[in-house]
Amino acid sequence: MNFQKVISTVACAVLVALASCSAKNDTKSDTQTPQRNAQDVVMGLRFKQFASNVKLTGEQQPQVKAIFEEENKAITAVQSDEKLSMLEKSQRVTALHKETYEKIRPLLSANQLEAFQKVVDRLDRKKKKTGA
């Protein structure tokens, strides 16, 4: 009988300790590591693919990444604007992509511009094909 009380007390103490640790971990994850949304992930993938296709130099990468991040913030704002229709959102996002391309062009060499134009042309063909 006494042994059962000890086991029950220990089990309760373990459960309380686990609950306390879990609560501490939940608050740490909220404050220390903000969750990335899907748009951030897509931006990161777009940047990596772009950097690879155009063969960005180490010096160019942070400059271009900053442009992509700026575009990402603007796209997120457009997509969260409830006043806009889906068509308006699509048109604004397309315009933001074009603005981004115009900001990137001056940073590229002649060879990179050629590769860049191939990427843009491929994306345009894909959009026309899908009707986006």
Report which residue type is found at 90. S
Query: What's the rounded Cα separation, in Å, for the pair 3 and 6?
Result: 5
Under DSSP, the state recorded for 108 is S
Query: What's the rounded Cα separation, in Å, for the pair 47 and 31?
Result: 27
- Residue 18, φ and ψ in degrees, nearest 5: -65, -40
Ordered by start, the domain boundaries in the chain are 1-35, 38-130
Under DSSP, the state recorded for 83 is T
Q: What is the pLDDT along the chain (132 residues), one digit of tens a residue?
A: 444 554 555 444 444 454 454 444 444 444 444 545 777 888 888 889 889 999 999 999 999 999 999 999 999 899 999 999 999 999 999 999 999 999 999 999 999 999 999 988 888 888 788 765
Under DSSP, the state recorded for 85 is -
